[in-house]
């Protein structure tokens, strides 16, 4: 009995090690990461541009949240609050310096999106996003934790190898010295382990997020009894669409609520199977679209839709090639 169990453990560790290796350390096409770079870059541009009109209001010398205020608020409300506040923005008291640093942040986000010096831009963008979060963590929205995580992972990847200024510059082939440069479409895309590694990091973190979305909802009665979407549609300021008329017919509110929780519960399971992946992706897109209309968190919901690309194999969400048929699960 004991010997059988030990043999099982030995076999299990071998199979697990092989699957782990295949999952994390094989080379892959960086194209999905390039698409993710563009989506997250656009979200980052929106993030920084949306701060611009209110920089002095929030963080100016007479602003609402001075560095010492943020420290005090965190001291009162958060036991581990002392680990926030690591931000270069705390050092910028002059309006000129604050506005200048903010302009630089927008330029970096644009460079990242267009793939200009992508590797440097991605690291700078990540540090800037963290600095903004740390400057006033009580102002974070749903977008901040997702955006900082994805940009952090993209720092590890060659996400500028396609659809970028960097790729265009690299692929230019001078035909003759006195003729204008031409784009050489035959230049190949380099598959790398780091592409796969970063893509897997984003995939796993996304499934953890979905697990968090589902479990945090199920921590309250309202998502169990099917009324949660009513409480969202019946708000005053958040909804973009007046769907409160649905309150007269609770069945539709119940269907909507249960569907959102169901999709978020099933997502971390079905996304790993290549045959169920397109189905759960479509369901997630519908779910995020409906949530965007009701909660008003447009950038966050659009980013969550865009992040579905993290599960693309190359540039397709579909299992098109029969030669890959044996490998039905990535894990």
Binding residues for other proteins restricted to 76-135, rule: CB under 8 A: 76-80, 83-84, 86, 129-130, 133-134
Contact yes or no for 104/52 (Cβ under 8 A): no
Question: In the complex with other proteins, which residue's Cβ is closer, 220 or 325?
Answer: 220
Cβ at position 1, least distance to other proteins in Å:
30
Give the rounded distance of the alpha carbon of 222 from its chain centre.
27
Tokens 């909660």 identify what position?
A: 295
Cβ at position 308, least distance to other proteins in Å:
18
Cβ at position 186, least distance to other proteins in Å:
7
Binding mask 26-45 for other proteins (x = CB under 8 A): -x-x----------------
Question: In the complex with other proteins, which residue's Cβ is closer, 51 or 165?
Answer: 51
Instruction: Kindly state whether residue 205 participates in binding other proteins, applying the rule CB under 8 A.
Output: yes
Q: Is residue 211 classed exposed, middle or buried when 0-12, 13-18 and 19+ CB atoms within 10 A define those classes? A: middle
Binder of other proteins out of 99, 273, 289, 295 (CB under 8 A): 295
Tokens 């009109």 identify what position?
A: 53
Contact yes or no for 193/25 (Cβ under 8 A): yes
Interacting span for other proteins (CB under 8 A) from 3-11, 50-58, 115-123, 316-324: 50-58
Binder of other proteins out of 106, 168, 227, 319 (CB under 8 A): 227
CA-based torsion, 220, 226, 229, 231: positive or negative: negative
Interacting span for other proteins (CB under 8 A) from 32-40, 95-103, 216-224, 267-275: 216-224
Instruction: Kindly state whether residue 62 participates in binding other proteins, applying the rule CB under 8 A.
Output: yes
Binder of other proteins out of 32, 41, 115, 137 (CB under 8 A): 137
Give the whole-angstrom CA distance, residue 235 versus residue 126: 34
Question: In the complex with other proteins, which residue's Cβ is closer, 165 or 191?
Answer: 191
Binding mask 161-200 for other proteins (x = CB under 8 A): -------------------------x-xxxxxxx--x---
Say what the alpha-carbon torsion angle 171, 177, 182, 184 is, to the nearest 10 degrees. Answer: -40
Give the whole-angstrom CA distance, residue 108 versus residue 36: 16
Cβ at position 159, least distance to other proteins in Å:
15
Angle at Cα 55 formed by Cα 54 and Cα 57, nearest 5°?
Answer: 60
Residues 6+ apart with CB under 8 A from 131: 86, 87, 88, 89
Sites for other proteins among residues 232-291 (CB under 8 A)? 232-238, 240, 242, 244-245, 247-250, 253, 291
Binder of other proteins out of 206, 283, 297, 308 (CB under 8 A): 297
What token pair was written down for 70?
A: 């943020």
What one-character-per-residue DSSP string does 126-161 give?
A: HHHHHHHHHH-GGG--THHHHHHHHHHHHTTS-TTS
Residue whose C-alpha is closest to residue 150's, from 36, 66, 67, 271: 36
Give the whole-angstrom CA distance, residue 205 versus residue 209: 6
Binder of other proteins out of 8, 12, 20, 275 (CB under 8 A): 20
Q: At 316, is the secondary structure helix, strand, or coil?
A: strand
Instruction: Kindly state whether residue 65 participates in binding other proteins, applying the rule CB under 8 A.
Output: yes
Give the whole-angstrom CA distance, residue 98 versus residue 54: 11
Question: In the complex with other proteins, which residue's Cβ is closer, 169 or 190?
Answer: 190
Instruction: Kindly state whether residue 220 participates in binding other proteins, applying the rule CB under 8 A.
Output: yes
Interacting span for other proteins (CB under 8 A) from 57-65, 90-98, 110-118, 278-286: 57-65
């Amino acid at each position: 009995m004991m010997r059988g169990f030990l043999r099982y453990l030995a076999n299990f560790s071998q199979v697990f090690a092989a699957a782990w290796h295949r999952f994390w350390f094989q080379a892959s096409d960086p194209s999905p990461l390039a698409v993710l770079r563009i989506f997250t870059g656009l979200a980052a541009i929106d993030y920084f541009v949306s701060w611009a009109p209110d920089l002095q209001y929030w963080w100016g010398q007479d602003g609402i949240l001075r560095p010492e205020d943020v420290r005090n608020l965190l001291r009162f409300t958060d036991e581990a609050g002392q680990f926030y506040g690591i931000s270069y923005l705390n050092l910028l008291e002059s309006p000129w310096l604050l506005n200048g640093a903010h302009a630089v942040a927008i330029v970096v986000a644009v460079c990242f999106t267009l793939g200009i010096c992508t590797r440097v831009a991605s690291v700078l963008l990540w540090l800037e996003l963290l600095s903004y979060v740390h400057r006033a963590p009580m102002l974070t929205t749903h977008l901040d934790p997702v955006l900082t995580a994805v940009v952090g992972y993209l720092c590890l990847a060659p996400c500028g190898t396609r659809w970028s200024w960097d790729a265009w510059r690299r692929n230019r082939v001078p035909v003759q010295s006195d003729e204008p440069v031409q784009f050489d479409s035959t230049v190949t895309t380099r598959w790398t382990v780091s592409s796969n590694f970063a893509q897997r990091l984003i995939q796993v973190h996304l499934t953890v997020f979905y697990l968090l979305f589902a479990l945090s909802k199920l921590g309250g009665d309202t998502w169990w009894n099917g009324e949660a979407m009513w409480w969202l549609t019946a708000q005053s300021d958040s909804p973009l669409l007046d769907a409160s008329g649905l309150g007269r017919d609770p069945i539709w509110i119940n269907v909507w609520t249960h569907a959102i929780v169901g999709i978020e519960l099933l997502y971390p399971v079905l996304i790993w199977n290549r045959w169920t992946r397109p189905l759960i992706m479509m369901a997630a897109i519908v779910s995020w679209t409906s949530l965007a209309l009701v909660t008003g968190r447009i950038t966050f919901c659009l980013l969550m839709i865009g992040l579905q690309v993290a599960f693309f194999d190359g540039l397709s969400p579909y299992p098109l090639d029969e030669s890959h048929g044996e490998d039905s699960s990535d894990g």
